[in-house]
Chains A and B, each alone.
Chain A
Amino acid sequence: MSWPLLYAQLVAANHHSTSLGKVWLSALFLFRVLVLVVAAESVWGDEQSDFTCNTLQPGCENVCYDQFFPVSHIRLWCLQLVFVSTPTLLVALHVGHRKHRDKKRLLQASARSSFLSSKNQEEELETLKKRRLPIAGALWWTYACSLVFRVLCEGGFMFALYVVYDGFRMPRLVQCDQWPCPNLVDCYISRPTEKTIFTVFMATTSSICVVLNMAELAYLVAKAVSR
């Protein structure tokens, strides 16, 4: 299971979303997953090997690195993207369940009446399988909950990143005096400017996705109210 497979699943699931949902999915995969895989991972690739401290004391670098990077940005973004994609799969499960129920009902009705020929029945089954379910009733609630969950996850992860790293800036120098470092030791992070640029980029795309999700939620609510 990797990003391409998840993308395939989400595209199939997105068949039942609104057009804003489709825009959101493209934004997610083009600007976030692709950038993460193609660019950001190489920027953070050498993060521990090129984290240098001004000491020869064995263990000091490990400990200082662990103190300043409890969770790497890359891992936080991976988890964020996985959590944000999950609600769509739930909606797809709900849609699948509904279609399965409809199919069962159709088969039962045709078994009882036996007026439908087998060809007619096959046609009906095909249209049932391919049609786009309207977002109404229980599906509306599932969809709305999935949007709320997405917004909460995005916000939560961005907040966690902000809190863990004291903002979106990566400093060039950090000072550390954890045991076994003999005294206050200067440690230098590798590629701080490039990391800052990518952090700001990912935070911006995350906010854009939040705005898209909120717009979609507002649209759904407006449609439901007008109905």
Chain B
Amino acid sequence: MNWSGLESLLSGVNKYSTAFGRIWLSMVFVFRVMVFVVAAQRVWGDESKDFVCNTRQPGCTNVCYDHIFPISHIRLWALQLIFVTCPSLMVMAHVKYREGKDQKYVALHHGSHLYANPGKKRGGLWWTYLLSLVFKAGFDTSFLYILYRVYHGYDLPRLSKCALDPCPNTVDCFISRPTEKKIFMLFMVISSVLCILMCICEMVYLIGKRISKILTVRHENQRLVFADQHELTEIAPPRSAYRRTDPTLSDSQLSLNKREKVREGTTTTTL
């Protein structure tokens, strides 16, 4: 199991996401996982060997390295990427559960389906999807905060002074490649922030869509109730009753709206 295993696991998630979710997933895999594997890991590769302290006291370098790097950036980012990609699996699990239930229903009721489309985000699945977004944003934010606390800001100084036992007195220690590490740290932090913003946008979009749907349904119901209560006269029969139409025409071709007809005309397949 490695990054490609995780990617194949998550490739199915694309079907059940919104457009934002698909962009988020591509962003995570191309800008974060790929850059992490291909570039960032090499930069941190020699960090322990090339950490040099101005002392010959045995053990001092080890102790100082351990004090300055309680957990390596690379390991934190690996954990962050795993935690951030996993909530999508919740959505997949829910869809699989729905499909299982649907199959059992079909077997019992001979053909009629419980769910017309198990992947449609209605009811429980909508809540699962929203929860997965909340978790994704939450994990990203907490890891960013942990990185901030452990390394006292997103800074990597060239020189650190260390006075722990068994170092004889205050000793100068030098990190390897601090500038390159700072560049990659900024890159990973900025991409995390962008992913968090995308999650928030997606949440707002989902909630907004749901609210607008509820409002339209309520508006429709009010209109129907009004029409019912006030006993309005019957609406005039459709104009097609006055026109002679070809009974073999499909519903969409009966449209009288020229613009709609032109639009429909341009979307025909051109190979």
Contacts and interface: CB of A to CB of B under 8 A. Distances in A.
Interface of A: 1-3, 5-6, 48-49, 57-59, 61-63, 65-66, 69-72, 74-75, 78-79, 82, 85-86, 89, 93, 96-97, 102, 105, 109, 112-113, 115, 127-128, 131-132, 134, 180
Nearest to B180: A71
Interface stretch (B48-56, B88-96, B210-218, B234-242): B48-56
Interface stretch (B37-45, B101-109, B141-149): B37-45
A59 B52 contact: yes
Contacts of A69: 177, 180
B7 to A, nearest CB: 6
A2 B42 contact: no
Nearest to A77: B39
Interface in B11-61: 19, 22-23, 26, 29-31, 33-35, 37-39, 42-43, 46, 49-50, 52-55
A57 B55 CA distance: 10
Contact of B33 (A1, A61, A72, A113): A1
Instruction: Decide if the interface of chain B is mainly helix, strand, loop or mixed.
Output: helix
Main SS of chain A's interface residues?
Answer: helix
Contacts of A78: 35, 38-39
Contacts, number: 118
Nearest to B27: A86
B174 to A, nearest CB: 4
Contacts of A102: 267
Contacts of A72: 43, 177, 180
B7 A5 contact: yes
Interface string B149-184: 000000000110000000000001111111110011
Contacts of A97: 19
A6 B250 contact: no
B246 interface: no
A127 B269 CA distance: 9
B268 to A, nearest CB: 10
B256 interface: no
Contact of B172 (A86, A113, A134, A180): A180
Nearest to A4: B4
16 contacts: A1-B3, A3-B38, A48-B46, A58-B55, A58-B174, A59-B52, A59-B174, A62-B52, A63-B174, A70-B179, A72-B177, A82-B35, A89-B30, A93-B26, A113-B250, A134-B270
Interface of B: 3-4, 7, 19, 22-23, 26, 29-31, 33-35, 37-39, 42-43, 46, 49-50, 52-55, 158-159, 172-180, 183-184, 187, 248, 250-252, 267, 269-271
Contact of A66 (B33, B35, B42, B177): B177
A92 to B, nearest CB: 9
B19 A6 contact: no
A113 to B, nearest CB: 3
Contacts of B175: 62
Contacts of A57: 54
Contacts of A5: 4, 7
Contacts of A59: 52-54, 159, 172-174
A82 B179 contact: no
Given A75-B180, A113-B252, 11 more contacts: A2-B37, A58-B174, A62-B175, A65-B176, A66-B180, A72-B43, A72-B180, A78-B35, A93-B22, A132-B271, A180-B54
Given A1-B4, A131-B271, A132-B271, A86 B180 contact: no
B238 to A, nearest CB: 15
Nearest to A124: B269
Contacts of A85: 30
A2 B43 contact: no
Nearest to B30: A86
Contacts of B19: 93, 97
B178 A66 contact: yes
A96 B18 CA distance: 12
A162 B19 CA distance: 38
B250 A109 contact: yes
Contact of A112 (B31, B173, B250): B250
